[in-house]
Structure 1
Amino acid sequence: MAVLHQSAGYSLACLTNIYSETPEVIRSALLAEGVDVEAHPRPSQAPIAVTMKRLYDLKLSIDRVGWLCGYSYGQARKILLGTGVQLRQRGPSLETEVDVKRLVKLRKSGLSIEACGRDLGISFGTARNRLLDAGAPMRPEPIILARPKTPLPASVVVDLHLQGYKNDHIRKLTGRSSSFVQHHLARAGLPARVNPDPLGIDTRTLVAVYRRVASSRATADVLHISAGAALARLWESGQDILDVPDPDAAPLHIPGQDPWQRRQQEIFVRAAKGQRASEIAADLRVPVADVTAVMRIYQHRDRTTAEILYRRTQGERPGVIAIRMGLRLDRVKAVLGKYTSRPRRSTPLTKSPTQQRNRHVHRHHC
């Protein structure tokens, strides 16, 4: 914070948005570092490379340094190399930087080592080494369940559920279908799970999201989990695979705060105060084109339509947009289909000799 405030000239309001803290917390932290917060912050005469080097020396990653200064990973890495800094080896090197307990739980749940590492933001090699150090099995032992010759009664379904068996295991042990298991568990007033999910996933919320988007990948994006984990929980809960969203399901609103949203809010606050696009870009250390794009797309008279279009430009799927904004998926798709479809070309680029001759004859008769 001190580097950004003194060297880069970031205001308290900007630091508040970056670190998602209250102004009092930011002010106290700066005062503890001996920073004069009463003085108006002014950027130093040093180039941005000096600020980036100072941030990188504070053990921040290249991604984080680039995000704070408004540059991509590649641009930030190039600037740091230009300053002569010795880049650190990528990936976590300390045991405390990896949530080993969650990594082991992910692996025991049946996910591959690559999927486990992707969930925690680490490489395959790092995930494998941490699992070996923790003594976790590289190949989880499969659970072999024998299916009975004749289906068992519904009372066995409830008994197995109360003993902690998963719905998928109950289905195999009783020889019943997923719908049969779900129906009789619902009649007994039992939830989808007896014990809490070891991955911290709320199965009811996951199913509710899936029913509204009919996409396991969009469901995984909304809940910040892997697609494999989402599919495993949907299968376990007995949810059938849907081709289209459930028309009877009401819209679901699960907001999320991404870095681009905080920057977007800062742009609008500064624009409301009368700052020009070039001034906002200089203060936030972002390209002018990004600022003008945000301001231009939000000049649409329909703010809902504008936000749908902007979220799409940020790479969000239609299902994720619907859940984040609390809209129906068909409305989101209708807006995207209306404003992102390519216009048809009315005339060909080149005309044939016959077309040119007919056009000449038409003009002559006229």
Structure 2
Amino acid sequence: MAVLYQSGGYSLERLASLYKVRREVIRALLQDEGVEIRAEGTRGTSAPVVVTMAILYDLGLSIDRVGWLCGYTYGTARKMLLAAGVELRPRGMKLINKLDVPRLVRLYESPLSIKTVADMCGMSYGTARDQLLRAGVTLRPPSISLARQHIELIPPAIPLSGSTVVQLHGQGFDKFQIRRLTGRSHEFVDRRLTEHGLRARVGPDRLGIDTEQLVTIYRSVASSDVTAEVLHLSASAVLARLREAGQPLLDAPDPEAAPSHVPGKAPWQYRDEQILARAARGERIALIAAAVDVAAAEVAEVIRIYRHRDRTTAEILRRRTQGESAGVIAVRMGLRLDSVNNALDKYETRHRTRPSPRRADPLTLLHP
């Protein structure tokens, strides 16, 4: 996989399609092997295809497998390898001494099935299973396959111990299933798995939605509508995934939940940056308005808001004027919902209590 990504120039999406696993799994596996992932939108520089074929063949793959990976028949791949001066092994010979057992174990614990792991490592099911057993790996029972599990997970009356978290992980359950079966919080499960050097598994979503992120956002704002708006989903889709993850509906944000942060710039934010940059250079409001093609009153509004001594509060108030709810503001800025509400309440209180002999512009109340 690393050879195809680095030498062959394959994208993560192409590898995911080739190996029949999710893109995130491919990315994690490559990073585990020390491969530097290319930036989004950039293409890898591929070596001549015969170079990639030679590397794959030297790793122990068969000519047939090498040809399939690179898009050639067995005969064509063999001719290309011979023309490149590669010394071919006698047909049927296997390089057993080159088995990467640690990698085999990591793939199985990711978790993938033995058959998938065997295919990815270029070996038979029996060989892969034998090597896993020799490495001391406890194989998951077929009945606990994540893809076939449809039983209802009922939490216990009394939360179970941390050792149970680790045991369930070893049996192939993902993070949400473990949380449900043990009656423990997300933080408790994460902490126990981290202490044992285990990576939390999250069940795959057929639409590519990050269910773990979805649940994290929901727990920090306790609103399916806000979660849907931030992730550009429908509220019904959010509720469906909350049910699948075993996350009960909340009346208030979970006090144990860390603030969620899903950054994203709206068009008005880019415009605000231009306005503030020009204002800092001393340009007059009329000239700024003409340059950014907005009304002079809006330019003055942006400048007044960002004169607030607390830039965080200024951004909260600006987002509010653009119609964002307190929950959306909290997630976009990575703040706790109560912090956002406190800032808004403080502004509203000052607005109501400050006397004004004339009709005042509410934004002037932002000044200390």
TM-score (norm 2): 0.45
Q: Which has the higher contact order (CA 8 A, sep 6+)?
A: 1
